[in-house]
Amino acid sequence: MNTAPTPFSPARFEFDRALIERLAGHGPRYTSYPTADRFTADFGEKDYRARLARRAIGALHARPLSLYVHLPFCNTICYYCGCNKIITKDTRRADAYLDDLEREIALVAAALGPREKVIQLHFGGGTPTFLSDAQLTRLVGLLSERFDFLPEAERSIEIDPRKVDADTVFLLAGLGFNRMSIGVQDFDPQVQEAVNRVQSEQETLAVMDAARRAGFKSISVDLIYGLPRQSVASMARTVERVVAAGPDRIALYHYAHLPALFPPQRRIVDAELPSPGVKLDILQASVAQLSAAGYLFIGMDHFALPSDELAVALRQGRLQRNFQGYSTHADCDLIGLGVSAIGQIGGAYVQNAKDLDAYRAALADGRLPVMRGLALSGDDILRRSVIQALMCRFSLSIEAIEQTHGIVFADYFAAEMPAIRAFADEGLLTFDGDFLMVEPRGRFLIRNIAMVFDRHLRERASGARYSQTV
């Protein structure tokens, strides 16, 4: 079967360097709409419990859940990282944290009522593999005591190859994990030294080999462009080595240097960062390498082999997007567990306390550790549908939106029409009144197009500092 992108395939793209340089700015990644910076403390534990109870008695109970568990610990600090993390070498701290998770899991499960079925599980961090084999086994056991995992469930985990050996990989497979995401960022020793993440190619390849032997269905590798001391040539060597290893998915993230927001980034020497022009050179060359190697463009910064489930979902028009990025299961309610974890349930978003002490104190008091959230309005749900379609399918059926939401598209989005026409004049999209299609040259600027429909962004300033759209 021919799996190469056809002229009308959503995987087809054009890297228009001049257009990207002129139009790329800063904006959300739209792992949710509204974005997390719009969550407020007005949504609290009482509201979350009401949503959980509503699911328990409603039709949504028939649909399986997605679970996300945030494990914040890391042995060492990577200077580029913007995640919510705790740096420690004391693995006993994870035992106390598992006690907290046990309390939270019990509270959530009790609020949900009858045992829920789970179709997707993700361990993120931090470094999930900071946990010992015994601690990982305990955590999976805690979840299995309260939830029923479907046989076809996707179970994924983020891996630091420096902290994992083949025995742990096989243990993870035995615990049901079938997908892993491996942080590489860059194989160049000088770049690794500059960001305090020294990781040999051999360590990475050994983990990938063990994962294949253990039966993992999918391996994803994370790369970052724009890091200090990085060049077109050095990144080309990294991409070449990663492609040779043959992961199913490759994420090529843009490094957002925000030292005022993420203090560890202050240790990065600004003078060693590549210029904006060089960063774009690196991206352009890397994209060309990945395409030549047979990886399909999924969207934004994700690439996958044609046989991967993300690529299949893109071709079939059922790709989704959630807080972990592109997915095939984002239509599920998502329960976030652990410090700072975000969930989505019944038309609402909820986030746990970001501070470990506050998270722990709430649970010790028998309360769900909710810090903030948001109940979506009808307008939010409509705009989320539009943004989801654009981000995941590069197309929008006007008739489907009108029938589902009971609107006249041109009237409802009258304020957006000038920007839509401007992007059409630029060749980023076509709009004939029946369909809005993102053209291949507009696909690397999909965040810019999605931002047109972001009412919160247009009408209310946010304190958030967004990353560059390309």
Tell which residue, 392, 389, 411, 391, has the closest CA to residue 400. Answer: 389
222 is in an annotated binding site: yes
332 is in an annotated binding site: no
253 is in an annotated binding site: no
Task: Please check whether residue 409 is in contact with residue 390, taking contact to mean a CB–CB distance below 8 angstroms.
Answer: no
CA–CA dist 380, 322 (Å, integer): 15
Contacting residues for 311 by C-beta, under 8 A, at least 6 apart: 3, 11, 296, 298, 304, 305
83 is in an annotated binding site: no
CA–CA dist 93, 95 (Å, integer): 5
- Scored b (16 or more CB within 10 A) or e, 411-446 reads ebbeebeebbeebbebebbebeeeebbbbbbbbbbb
CA–CA dist 182, 436 (Å, integer): 36
Q: Name the burial class of residue 133, with classes exposed (0-12), middle (13-18) and buried (19+) by CB atoms within 10 angstroms of its CB.
A: middle
Q: In which element (H, E) is residue 151 found?
A: strand 147-159
CA–CA dist 147, 144 (Å, integer): 5
Q: In which element (H, E) is residue 112 found?
A: helix 92-112
158 is in an annotated binding site: yes
Contacting residues for 145 by C-beta, under 8 A, at least 6 apart: none
Q: In which element (H, E) is residue 463 found?
A: none
Q: And the tokens for 13? A: 């793209």
Contacting residues for 382 by C-beta, under 8 A, at least 6 apart: 401, 405, 407, 412
| Residue 337 to residues 35, 65, 81, 254, Cα–Cα distance (Å) | 19, 13, 21, 27
412 is in an annotated binding site: no
82 is in an annotated binding site: yes
CA–CA dist 39, 264 (Å, integer): 25
99 is in an annotated binding site: no
127 is in an annotated binding site: yes
CA–CA dist 302, 250 (Å, integer): 6
126 is in an annotated binding site: yes
Task: Please check whether residue 322 is in contact with residue 334, taking contact to mean a CB–CB distance below 8 angstroms.
Answer: yes
Contacting residues for 274 by C-beta, under 8 A, at least 6 apart: 226, 227, 228, 230, 231, 282
80 is in an annotated binding site: yes
Contacting residues for 290 by C-beta, under 8 A, at least 6 apart: 239, 243, 250, 252, 303
| Residue 360 to residues 49, 340, 342, 365, 368, Cα–Cα distance (Å) | 18, 12, 16, 9, 10
Q: And the tokens for 192? A: 């690794």
Binding residues: 68, 74, 78, 80-82, 125-127, 158, 185, 197, 222, 256, 342
Binding residues for [4Fe-4S] cluster: 74, 78, 81
Binding residues for S-adenosyl-L-methionine: 68, 80-82, 125-127, 158, 185, 197, 222, 256, 342
